[in-house]
């Protein structure tokens, strides 16, 4: 069997973010990890040529769908990126908030007809969240910052949706 490369394969041609208006809504829960993801995301947007980036914050992941929906309706954005980090605790909170934010964000995207990128990590441990935010990897490396993928996805989906023509 051929080697199976796990994870995201970049598009054949990098999408051009010039002229796009991107909204980022991030949580204030688990802020150190969220900040690393936000930085990775903003850097990636800039690398794609995006210069018009609006950053707003809400309390936690449960607020992300309403926050994104409300801000999308107030502005002229081509795509939104919702960033948050859920870390499993000893109660059922994690499951309920993960479910609500996932389906809520999907609904906002379909209802608004604007791409909404799912930048929510649902981690079983704090360590997992750090690995996925490029802070501390499993082998003493820095891990991978998923925020970079979310920035690229926002540009790709905004173009797919006809923005910037
Ligand atoms: C209550 C709560 C808990 C337990 N854990 C998290 C978390 O890990 N990540 C996160 O973004 N938010 C958490 N919250 C807060 C909820 O998302 C929400 O802000 C509150 O329930 C108020 O609606």
Backbone φ and ψ for 7, nearest 5 degrees, come out as: 110, -165
Tokens of 147: 């925020």
Domain positions in the chain are 21-160
Query: Is residue 93 among the annotated active site residues?
Result: yes
For 22-45, the pLDDT digits (tens) are 999 999 999 999 999 999 999 999
The model's pTM is: 0.95
Nearest to 134 by CA among 29, 47, 62, 43: 43
Neighbouring residues of 95: CB distance < 8 A, sequence distance ≥ 6: none
Which is the CATH superfamily of the domain at 21-160?
Lumazine/riboflavin synthase (3.40.50.960)
ipTM attached to this prediction: 0.99
Whole-angstrom distance, CA of residue 22 vs CA of residue 20: 6
Q: Which of 3, 26, 48, 93 is catalytic?
A: 93
User: Which of 32, 58, 60, 125 has most ligand 1 atoms within 8 Å of its beta carbon, as the pocket-test mutant?
Assistant: 60
For 36-86, the pLDDT digits (tens) are 999 999 999 999 999 999 999 999 999 999 999 999 999 899 999 999 999
- Looking at residue 60, what is its pLDDT? 98
Q: Whose CA is nearest to atom 21 of ligand 1?
A: 62
- Which residue carries 């930085």 as its tokens? 39
Residue 165: is its pLDDT beyond 80? no
């Amino acid at each position: 069997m051929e080697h199976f490369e796990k994870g995201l394969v970049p598009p054949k041609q990098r999408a051009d973010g010039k002229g796009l208006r991107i909204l980022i809504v991030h949580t204030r829960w688990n802020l150190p990890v969220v900040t690393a993801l936000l930085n990775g995301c903003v850097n990636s947007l800039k690398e794609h040529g995006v210069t018009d980036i609006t950053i707003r914050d809400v309390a936690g992941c449960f607020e992300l769908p309403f926050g994104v929906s409300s801000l999308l309706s107030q502005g002229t954005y081509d795509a939104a990126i919702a960033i948050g980090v859920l870390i499993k605790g000893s109660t059922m909170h994690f499951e309920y908030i993960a479910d609500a934010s996932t389906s809520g964000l999907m609904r906002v995207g379909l209802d608004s007809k604007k791409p909404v990128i799912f930048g929510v990590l649902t981690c079983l441990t704090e360590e997992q969240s750090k690995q996925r935010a490029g802070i501390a990897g499993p082998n003493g490396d820095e891990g991978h910052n998923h925020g970079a993928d979310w920035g690229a996805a926002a540009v790709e989906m905004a173009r797919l949706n006809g923005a910037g023509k």
